[in-house]
Structure 1
């Protein structure tokens, strides 16, 4: 499964509808509304270790993906369970705008330009979060 910043992961592209994801993966193991935003509906797939967030206020388009699948790669290099320093400096070496936030038990590395978040515990990447890029304050870039 290949990570494609600003586009999606594998066959899953920003702007897809829930029916498109269901056609590829089947019925989700869990469906729930985001506690902080009632306009976000999340489909969770346990076996694939993927979560898809659909923006209800944007015609139900896929706008955010979280992945903890150990088969995730970027440019052919493994990401999940890899040392976070290697992922930041070597795998994503072309991204320079990382902001680090330490929460004691885990650390996040955020690239706002790529709308990419790397979460790490014990100095290993545990999951990746990827969002649809933003054109401006009012528009997403659905590509």
Structure 2
């Protein structure tokens, strides 16, 4: 599953509606609303959780994934040492990360691409990517029907 920075993952493109996603991947394993009344779809086989923002006409705006098939710039990222993953990203000019620690987990956040690499024991265990917010504080929706 290819990560497309600023756009989404695989066939998932920021700005899609639930019906667009279901047309591609079928019915989700789980469908619920979070505390902000956003709609969450979960696909177990893809190991991905999708957030459709209530305040944005229920458009796809955030993805959390842990599939071992995730690739960024042709490199697998999951279950690899964070130092090696960051070295791969540095070769593509992605070097600025804000690091946050809690318990045994560490998050490495890159604001320019709105991605988070979550690690445990120095190994990437989760990848998050969000739709880009522009200088006007508006989402940059990439999906065009």
Report if TM-score (shorter chain) is over 0.5.
yes
Contact 2:32 2:39 in 1 (8 A): yes
CA–CA distance in 1 between the matches of 2:3 and 2:94? 14
Cα separation, 1, equivalents of 2:118 and 2:4: 17
TM-score, with length taken from structure 1: 0.93
- The 5-angstrom pairing of residues 1-143 of structure 1 reads 1-35=1-35, 37-38=36-37, 40-90=38-88, 92-93=89-90, 94-136=93-135, 138-143=137-142
Query: How far is the alpha carbon of 1:4 from its aligned partner?
Result: 0.9
**How far, CA to CA, are the matches of 1:66 and 1:120 in structure 2?**
13
**Residues 82-140 of structure 1: per-residue CA shift (max 9 Å, x gap):** 111111122x1121220000112100000111110110111111111000000135311
Q: Which runs of 4+ in 1 moved over 4 A?
A: none
SS of the residue 1:86 aligns to:
helix
Query: Aligned to 1:22, what secondary structure does the other structure show?
Result: helix
Question: C-alpha separation between the residues in 1 aligned to 2:125 and 2:23?
Answer: 27
Q: What do residues 22-56 of structure 1 show as CA deviations (whole Å, max 9, x unaligned)?
A: 11111111111122x22x21101111101110012
Measured in 1, the distance between the counterparts of 2:82 and 2:137 equals 33
Gaps of 5+ in 1: none
Supply the distance in 2 between the matched residues of 1:60 and 1:104 (Cα, whole angstroms).
33
Match of 1:21, SS state, is: helix
Partners of 2:79 and 2:70 in 1: how far apart?
A: 10
TM-score (norm 2): 0.92
Structure 2 Cα separation of the partners of residues 132 and 54 of structure 1: 11
CA distance in 2, matches of 1:124, 1:55: 30
